[in-house]
Structure 1
Amino acid sequence: MVHVSVIGCGNMGSALIRGLSRTGNHTITACDVDEEVLDEVEPYCETTTTDLAEAAEATVVFVVVKPDLTAGIVDDLDLSAEQTLVSIAAGVSTDALEPRTDATVVRVMPNLAAATGDMAAAVAGDEITDEVAELLDDAGVFVEIDEAQMHTSTAVNGSGPAFVFYLIKAMMDAGVESGLNPDEAKVLAAQTFKGAAETVIQSEESIDQLIDDVCSPKGTTIEGMKVLRESTADEAVAEAVFAAERRSEELAGEGDDE
């Protein structure tokens, strides 16, 4: 079993803790200055603490705090070369953290679906240890990318869940407007996104081909697709991704100035 600590138990940190606890494969220590937050994650951990030194005893240490706090936390941790530091801070490069610790530094951009084991994560670093790979596998799926692509990953899979939630709500609202009750519309819209996503992952067909597979000639789907193809919906989604990517770049610049 891997001993893992999560420093910072807000939305993302608590999602990681919940996801990792599902497997029973790990010993989990949660660390935060807010004891109420620790109370919320206590059922999913072996240990909760406000003491950084105690959290620093883990084999893999996740630092899940705001970007402007990350370097200071790393400075306060006394990690050895046998340990791995995993940073989940938008805009904070491994180059910025490596001089501050003897540990192997890995940078990860996960998302909140870690809580259910459905996380999509991008990971970068000179060495992705077996322990880190095991942890990320247990929380979902991950891809290894060049660190230069982290701003894009931040926008696509880090911010992406909010964009998907927006689209689910749009479909849900349309269903309600046409007569479904909100609970029915929510289940149907959300499960449709879930099923479609799983189909994309498992199918060897292109997404364009999958769209065509649903569009029977003179049927209902093709009429809806005509509306989407004549709209600027794809451009709006792309602009949302680009805006999030630009903000990630800005955060990196702000960190460099400090």
Structure 2
Amino acid sequence: MIDVSVIGCGNMGSALITGLSEAGEYHITAYDVDPDAFERIEQYADRTTTDLADVTDSDVVVLAVKPDIVPLVLEDLELDADRTLLTIAAGVSTDVVAAETDATVVRVMPNLAAETQNMAAAVTWDEPNDHVAQMLSDLGEYVVVDEDLMDVTTALNGSGPAFVFYLLGAMADRAVEEGLDADDAETLAAQTFKGAAETVLRSDEDVETLIDAVCSPGGTTIEGMEILWDSDVDAVVGDALSAARERSAELAEEAEK
């Protein structure tokens, strides 16, 4: 049983609490300054508290607050050297957090799919941390990256779900315009994205080869792909990712001032 505390019960903190609860093998303490924040996670947390001192005995303390709140929390958070402080604040480097605590600091960029244990996460650490590795595995898939790549992972898997929601919505909306029921269109679009993503994860083939596998000569798919290939949609999607990465870098600069 891993004792975990989550500081901040907003969208990401709540997703982590829910996912870890569903995974089992965790004793979860949820902390927030606002008691109303506990309503959405009360059934998943073993304990809720507004007293920061209640989290200090946990094996892993997750700092799930907005970047500008991080310094305020760290001022009052006292952790021993045998604790792990896992920070998920976008743009806040490991060094910035480590300078304010005796705990071992691990930086993770997760996403909201932690709630359903389908999270994509990037982690940076000085050396592998067994507790954190177990948590990330129970919540989905993770990769280990160097600290200087955290800005791009923030854009890719942190902001990425919003980009996917946008594309999914565009496909569903056009299907509705073509006559499909709205709920049916959303179900088919969502399951199509889910199935395609699972295929990529399980296949040894690259994305281009998988596209070719769906495209029969003279068929329907290649007709649609010709529209995409002739457009600049790949550049637009790439620009969206780059904009998110640049904002993450800006947040890092602000946090270090």
* TM more than 0.5: yes
CA distance in 1, matches of 2:40, 2:173: 32
SS of the aligned residue for 1:44 comes to coil
Comparing 69-78 with 103-112, which one deviates more in the overlay?
Answer: 69-78
Amino acid of the residue matched to residue 121 of structure 2? Answer: A
The answer (yes or no) to whether the contact 2:96–2:255 under 8 Å persists in 1 is no
Q: How does 1:165-184 map to 2 (within 5 A)?
A: 165-184=165-184
Shift of 1:39: 2.3
Counterpart for residue 18 of structure 2: 18
- By how many angstroms is 1:99 displaced? 1.7
| Secondary structure of the structure 2 residue equivalent to 1:141 | strand
The residue number in structure 2 matching 1:201 is: 201
Tell me, yes or no, if the aligned pair for 1:5 and 1:61 is still in contact at 8 Å: yes
SS of 1:9 mapped into structure 2: coil
- Measured in 2, the distance between the counterparts of 1:192 and 1:136 equals 25
- Equivalent position SS for 2:189: helix
Deviation, structure 1 residue 127? 2.5
| Equivalent residue runs for 1:218-233 within 5 Å | 218-233=218-233
The equivalent residue for 2:34 is: 34
Residue 223 (structure 1) shift: 0.2
Q: Is the 8 A contact 2:2 2:26 kept in 1?
A: yes
CA distance in 2 between counterparts of 1:125 and 1:133 reads 11
1:187-231 superposed Cα distances (whole Å, 9 cap, x missing partner) = 000000000000000000111000000000100000000000001
Report the AA paired with residue 246 of structure 1.
Answer: E
Stretches of structure 2 that go unaligned for 5 or more consecutive residues are none
Which residue type is aligned with residue 173 of structure 1?
D
Q: Which residue of 2 aligns with 1:130?
A: 130
Provide the C-alpha distance between the structure 2 equivalents of 1:34 and 1:192, rounded to a whole number of angstroms: 39
- 1:39 and 1:157 map into 2 onto residues whose CA distance is 27
3-state SS in 1 of match to 2:23 = coil
Q: Deviation digits for residues 4-43 of structure 1, max 9, x if unmatched?
A: 0000010000000011011111000000011111122110
Counterpart contact for 1:104–1:127, Cα < 8 Å? no
Q: CA deviation at 1:60?
A: 0.1
Q: CA deviation at 1:125?
A: 1.7
The alignment covers a number of residue pairs equal to 257
Are the counterparts in 2 of residues 168 and 189 from structure 1 also a CA contact under 8 Å?
A: yes
Q: Which amino acid aligns with 1:211?
A: I
Task: Describe the SS at the equivalent of 2:99.
Answer: helix
Structure 1 ranges of 4+ moved more than 2 A: none
Provide the C-alpha distance between the structure 2 equivalents of 1:30 and 1:128, rounded to a whole number of angstroms.
25
SS of the equivalent of 1:106 reads strand
Shift of 1:129: 1.0
Cross-structure match for 1:106: 106
Structure 2 Cα separation of the partners of residues 195 and 186 of structure 1? 14
Deviation string for 1:55-104 (max 9, x for gaps)? 22211000000101112212311111110000011111111111211110
* Corresponding residue of 2:163: 163
Listed as ranges, the matches of 1:10-159 within 5 Å are: 10-159=10-159
CA drift of 1:181 comes to: 0.8
Is the 8 Å Cα contact of residues 122 and 145 (structure 2) preserved in structure 1? yes
Alignment partners' CA distance in 1, 2:74 and 2:153: 23
Does residue 4 of the first structure (1) align with residue 22 of the second (2)? no
TM-score (norm 1): 0.98
Are residues 1:248 and 2:245 paired?
no
Q: Deviations over 1:154-190 (max 9, x none)?
A: 0000000000000000000010000001000000000
